[in-house]
Amino acid sequence: MAAPLGLLATGTAWGEWGAQDLGGRLGFVPEGVDRFGGLWSGVLPDYALPGRGSGPWAVLGYLLSALAGVALLVAGTWLVVRLRRRRSPG
């Protein structure tokens, strides 16, 4: 689990660019990003707890985001394996 290494890194992670960042990198903003970019901000936007975006709260929000992501990946993998076992003969 390398997710907590993000606490030491600066800048944004690959693919976490907003429309402005993407426009600066590409020279234009794709139509889909421009149209749908603001529809979903995430469960914990900017990895922060609502109303608590600095200090130890920021670290806690980041760690909770990492744990939630790992839990979703484990649950998804478990579901796929379970469905495949159910469908396999014998």
Kindly report, residue by residue over 60-81, the tens digit of the pLDDT.
Answer: 888 888 898 899 999 999 999 9
Q: Hey, where are the domains in the chain?
A: 18-87
What are the distances in angstroms from CA 61 to CA 8, 12, 23, 37, 42? 15, 16, 28, 22, 13
11-47 pLDDT, tens per residue?
777 777 788 888 888 899 888 888 888 787 777 777 7
12-22 pLDDT, tens per residue?
777 777 888 88
**Region class of 42: left (phi > 0), else alpha (psi between -120 and 50), else beta:** left
Average pLDDT score over residue span 44-51: 76
